[in-house]
Amino acid sequence: MPGMATQPHALNGSPGLTPGDDGGKDIGAEHIPSHRGEARFILSLLLILTAGTASAGETACWLDHGAIVVPAAFGDIAGDFLLDASAPKSQLHVTVANSFGIVTPEARADLRLAGERLSGFDMKVADLDVQARPHVAGIAGVIGADALAGFVTEIDAKPCRVRLSRRPGRRWPLRLELRTVGGALAVKAAISDGATSRAGWFAVATGAPGVTVADAKLTRDPPKDGDPDWPPARLRALSLGGVLFEQVPAGVTADAPAGLSGAIGEDVWHGWRMRLDPQRGRLELKPVRR
């Protein structure tokens, strides 16, 4: 398949990102349009109760600050959840859990998402303020790789739809090997800062923007007036299944799970239809029609 380049708008004065200790190149950030609204817990409840407006096994979703957000219900808790294939364990926000009388480190209930039900599903109770901070309304939790393990998950970004099924569909143009690394769903990719290249396994981060890179550093500190909620850097190149992405918004991470070189977020994925199939070990991509 021929290479497809993406060149998001650059911000002036952005620092560079360097894998390892060698010199880096220029960077910046592009904002993916976010879903703006209020009272999302009420809206999510309505979406669940009126799920007949979408196809069976399907739900509407939206992009919020570069993250896929879906309406779902965990027991009696109906709300907006980040859908993140890079999260090994699904999590329930501690504030939400406490408001429903849950004070234990883990909770068990039926999880309902996109017309499917996982009975007796376990969620870890955690403080998600750092993850949820950029979002304009409260996030009830994170639906992670453990919840997606038994499904074929299709994500359409334009318009945003999430579909769950038990069987694979017709093959899409680009197929990549999909592995579980450190509990996260991951694919192999290569990155370059223009001087140094590296290949490794990167988590499929549908709950975050940009690319994060482990064992890397910025060539200089980000601007003090920069947006703290967006990747501060720009990666010269990312190669994924023979497709080239250039000038990708990026940041660094110091706590990537063992075996992972970082994560690839929605700045890359939003131009594609995505099909995650953990049981068969493959990620399929299809370009979004313009």
Confidence of residue 228 (pLDDT cuts 50, 70, 90): low
Q: What is the mean pLDDT of the chain?
A: 80
Distance (Å, whole) CA 148 – CA 107: 18
Distance (Å, whole) CA 52 – CA 258: 42
Highest mean pLDDT among 29-38, 149-158, 225-234: 149-158
Please check whether residue 107 is in contact with residue 97, taking contact to mean a CB–CB distance below 8 angstroms.
yes
Confidence of residue 260 (pLDDT cuts 50, 70, 90): very high
Give me the domains of the chain, ranges plus CATH numbers. Answer: 17-32+172-287 (2.40.70), 40-165 (2.40.70.10)
H-run or E-run covering 181 = strand 179-181
Render 114-171 in DSSP notation, one character per residue. TTEEEEEEEEEEE--HHHHTTSSS---EEE-HHHHTTSEEEEEETTEEEEEESS--SP
Question: Of 19-23, 31-35, 199-203, 242-246, where does mean pLDDT reach its minimum?
Answer: 31-35
Mean pLDDT of 133-142: 72
Tokens at 144, concatenated: 């992670």
Distance (Å, whole) CA 159 – CA 238: 25
Q: Is the pLDDT of residue 130 over 90?
A: no
Q: For 152-161, what is each residue's pLDDT tens digit?
A: 999 997 889 9
Q: What percent of the chain has pLDDT over 90?
A: 54
Question: Of 41-50, 168-177, 200-209, 246-255, where does mean pLDDT reach its minimum?
Answer: 41-50
Query: What is the model's pLDDT at position 65?
Result: 81
Check residues 178 and 128 and name the one with the higher pLDDT. Answer: 178
Backbone angles phi, psi at 141, to 5 degrees: 175, -165
The pTM for the full model equals 0.78
Q: For 106-115, what is each residue's pLDDT tens digit?
A: 999 999 999 9
Q: For 94-103, what is each residue's pLDDT tens digit?
A: 999 999 999 9
Query: What is the model's pLDDT at position 230?
Result: 63
Mean pLDDT of 206-227: 77
Q: Which residues contact 271 (CB under 8 A, 6 or more apart)?
A: 4, 6, 157, 287, 288
H-run or E-run covering 197 = strand 197-204
Beta strands in 15-130 (DSSP E): 17-19, 58-60, 62-64, 67-74, 77-83, 91-93, 106-113, 116-126
Highest mean pLDDT among 37-46, 63-72, 140-149: 140-149
